[in-house]
Chain A
Amino acid sequence: MSTAMSTMMSTAMSEPLVDMRDVTVRFGGARPVHAVNGIDLRLNAGETLSILGESGSGKSVTLKTLLRILPEQRTAIGGTIRIAGVDVTALSGRALADHRGGVVSMIFQDPMLALDPVYTIGEQIAETVVRHEGVSRAEGMARALEMLTRVRIPSPERRLKSYPHEMSGGMRQRAMIALALVCRPKLLLADEPTTALDATVQIQILLLLRELQREFGMGMIFVTHDIGVAVEISDRVAVMYAGQFVETGAVRDIIRDPKHPYTRGLLAANLHGAHKGARLDAIPGAPPALDALPDGCPFAPRCPIAEAQCSEGLPPARVFGPQRQVRCLKA
């Protein structure tokens, strides 16, 4: 089935843009890693979801799974993933190439993961358009110029001919965004794209992404460890811990009424409005190793209100209204 046709079908059936059900990702090898352990997610076109969590919780792996860029041999993916009506796990060949960078695009914390140091910005963006849409090089360059202007890079004509290393940090981030969006993907995956930036530059990039997302009507999944960034960029939040979404909901609800003890700890650790001199309610310990599937609540060893029953089985996702779920026995 062609992408265009599946899109039409998905609209007809009002299927969400992204539909993940019980997705698991396990890396094999001498030390197996259970990186993603049963996540469910539905995202509509035009909607932004943040995945909030600390390092090692499985955020980047989740995005790479959606883009299908994990090493094939060592990775076992379970569950179902559909994007724009297409079964992502089954993609191969030309359809997979269209998927990556055509239907779904990704931006990173380090723009040099996306940009090639030996080609000019213009060449790279033009090449992407030529590859995905089969247009001429001249047309590709015209689209590159339009896109650089759109992400508000000063003197865009001149910047077409710049190499990545000739640009400042914030400018490279903008160039990477131009590259990611030039083929108008339906879904943008953003892996901490502002984490390494000064707050003064971060807010510029967040506002730009918000604006482009609205204008292009694309869905966006934005990974961050900063709850303030999640508030600025997203409609909904999924709090990730040990490869699971332990709490999901509208940003407003998560901020005002966090129900999972881990979410509450993260909010306190943000120190927004913390009183000087008052001791911080720090979560003790560290996240679990993921070499085995957790058989109880993975947060139990650090949880201030854990009880014996918490370790007896994986807490099920309890529903607290539309789009609001919490994996905690005591929520």
Chain B
Amino acid sequence: MSAAQGMSAAPGGSLAAGPLLSVHGLTKHFPIRSGLLGRGSVVVRAVDGISFDVTEGETLGIVGESGCGKSTTARLLVDLITPDSGEIRLANRRLGADMTVRDLRRDVQMVFQDSYASLNPRLTMEDAIAFGPMINGMAERQATNLAHDLLSRVGLEPRRFAGRYPHELSGGQRQRVNIARALAFSPKVVILDEAVSALDKSVEAQVLNLLSDLKSELGLTYIFISHDLNVVRYMSDRVMVMYLGEVAEIGPVDSLYSNPAHPYTRALLAAMPSMDPDRRTEEAPLSGDPPNPINPPSGCRFHTRCAHAAPVCSSAIPNLSRLRAERHLAGCHMLVPGSGHPEAAAEARP
């Protein structure tokens, strides 16, 4: 599944019409020492040449089994780690060319799953929020006022919460503070990496409501990463499905959930628990655990688990191809006429 053609902004298109965030051929491999094999180092192909766009004001969901590269993608987008190759553009400015890392880090903020680890145990909530803006040159008084504003915005009364330490808050309250802290930079994009996953369902619903409110009030753009496909469906405008460091499918949420084109997407959806006691799941869509991205399978990376795998699947890499719905793409040989897959149409359309 190589880079998708035609996914980036139309050349010559106006700035407003182009995507807010655009990623092209993004790649990150982690070298790790392999004690077991004892032959020096091997490479984890955590993110392997992915491309996608995010339009201003939309929410892009990212799903896929653990280890498929969701968090690595997120960390690349905020430059917590440096890509091996590939391009990141924000509002048509390219990182490393006419955009600095500092610009990127201000405009793209991230909230993590572990609400506790993200906060310094020795800083009060007000200081935790004011810290970033002060480092960036804001006067203390102003930064404190900003912190109080943001605390009320995320539903924590400043009079009660400004002076508290992380251990004096519940998980849901800490995650509200982490959201406030991300907003202190007036970012354009907020990446939520399993940000509600550790919360209890009732608290999760409260935080999801907060995220929706903030998005419309502040005109934010979200990248929403979660393993919970119900939550991703509720939150996202478009969804990207990753498998072993690559994009398997990406498309508008309704189209992707009702007409999943990639066998992996179908398996993920079929693995969701049924909510109907009279139609419980009778067969697991996939067997075994997700493989790890060291030495990924040749050709289509999913071929070792795919019920439709054919000889062509292990020899040729499928490209992302366009489907009927607009902006819906998937990388599977079955979708490409003339690919040689027995379930694909025989001839390429004229």
Contact = CB atoms under 8 A, between A and B. Distances in A.
Nearest to B230: A271
A280 interface: yes
A33 interface: no
Contact of B200 (A199, A225, A255, A280): A225
Contacts of A31: none
A228 B281 CA distance: 11
A204 B305 CA distance: 14
A269 B202 contact: yes
Nearest to A52: B201
A231 B275 contact: yes
A207 B202 contact: no
Contacts of A272: 230, 275
B203 A286 contact: yes
Given A199-B268, A207-B284, A279-B212, A232 B273 contact: yes
A44 interface: no
Contact of B205 (A171, A199, A282): A282
Chain B's interface size range is 35 or more
Contacts of A284: 206
A73 interface: no
Interface string A303-319: 00000000000000000
Contacts of A227: 275
A269 B228 CA distance: 12
A206 B272 CA distance: 12
B200 A55 contact: yes
B82 interface: no
A229 B273 contact: yes
B141 interface: no
Contacts of B274: 228, 231-232
A13 B203 CA distance: 45
A274 B286 contact: no
Contact of B206 (A198, A276, A282): A282
B227 A199 contact: yes
Contacts of B209: 279-280, 282
A255 B283 CA distance: 22
A170 interface: yes
Interface of A: 54-55, 154, 168-171, 198-204, 206-207, 225-229, 231-232, 250-252, 255, 265-266, 268-274, 276, 279-284, 286
